[in-house]
């Protein structure tokens, strides 16, 4: 996800956290003995930083870098065009709240039924979600969350498709598609620029990862 300057607030702290640039500050409520809950998460004010609830703690990330935002927007455009071409009633949106088995995540891209989007909801259950995508930003914290922490939780919640976009290193962006199997997510395709990523679910789509930079 976004830059690796995040801070994590434990449930007993209830302290003031400020982030650069110093435009906003978040006062976290006091959590219960088992940590913060989804209800606590939903009561937080809307700010430019992204706040997720992971294992009872709030994880705060600054705004996305330009490359991260470009790839997330490019993926959204490609998937949205494919959904329309397939006549699907699914919509593709960016950075939306989903409840994932007691956690509160904000994937970079979310695919869910259009009626839920039109209903102007604040959060949806993972059971309503057809696919999620995460764009991995620099830093060990971001890498761990998008490779180790979040995928098993998305899988346990029953989200059928997980897309991961890597923007670090050579040959970026690289795209990996995982689909839900009997034992969790299984990689079904991966590609770098000049190659082709093909998905059959939640609707047919094929694209060159390089297209994320130009859509």
pLDDT tens track for 48-65: 678 888 788 888 776 778
Say if 2 falls within a structural domain.
no
- Does residue 79 sit in the same domain as residue 184? yes
> At 188, which CATH number?
3.90.1570.10
Nearest C-alpha neighbor of 94 from the set 78, 106, 82: 106
Average pLDDT over residues 6-31: 46
Domain that holds residue 126: 66-213
- Does residue 75 sit in the same domain as residue 160? yes
Average pLDDT over residues 96-120: 94
- pLDDT higher than 90, residue 198: yes
Instruction: Please report the pLDDT score of residue 5 as a whole number.
Output: 47
For β-strands 109-113 and 97-100, DSSP reports them as unpaired
Number of folded domains that form the chain? 2
Q: How many CB atoms lie within 10 A of CB 130?
A: 19
- 183 falls in which pLDDT band (50, 70, 90)? very high
- Does residue 39 sit in the same domain as residue 135? no
Instruction: Please report the pLDDT score of residue 215 as a whole number.
Output: 78
Instruction: Please report the pLDDT score of residue 14 as a whole number.
Output: 43
**Cα(145)–Cα(165) distance, rounded to whole angstroms?**
13
- For residue range 137-154, what is the model confidence (pLDDT) as tens digits? 877 788 898 999 999 999
Say if 106 falls within a structural domain.
yes
Domain boundary among 41, 61, 81: 61
Average pLDDT over residues 144-171: 95
Q: How many CB atoms lie within 10 A of CB 89?
A: 9
Q: How many CB atoms lie within 10 A of CB 184?
A: 13
């Amino acid at each position: 996800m976004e830059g690796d300057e995040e801070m994590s607030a434990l449930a007993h702290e209830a302290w003031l956290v400020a982030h650069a640039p110093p435009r906003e500050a978040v006062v976290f409520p006091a959590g219960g003995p088992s940590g913060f809950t989804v209800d606590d998460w939903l009561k937080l004010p809307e700010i430019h930083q992204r706040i997720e609830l992971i294992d009872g703690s709030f994880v705060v990330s600054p705004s996305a870098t330009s490359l991260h935002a470009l790839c997330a927007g490019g993926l959204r455009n490609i998937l949205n065009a494919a959904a329309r071409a397939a006549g699907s009633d699914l919509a593709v949106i960016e950075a939306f709240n989903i409840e994932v088995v007691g956690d509160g995540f904000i994937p970079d891209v979310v695919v869910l039924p259009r009626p839920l989007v039109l209903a102007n909801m604040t959060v949806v259950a993972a059971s309503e979600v057809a696919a999620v995508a995460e764009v991995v930003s620099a830093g060990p914290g971001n890498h761990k969350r998008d490779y180790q922490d979040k995928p098993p939780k998305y899988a346990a919640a029953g989200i059928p498709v997980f897309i991961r976009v890597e923007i670090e290193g050579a040959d970026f962006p690289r795209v990996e598609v995982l689909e839900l199997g009997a034992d969790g997510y299984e990689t079904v395709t991966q590609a770098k620029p000049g190659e082709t990523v093909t998905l059959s679910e939640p609707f047919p789509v094929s694209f060159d990862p390089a297209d994320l930079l130009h859509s």
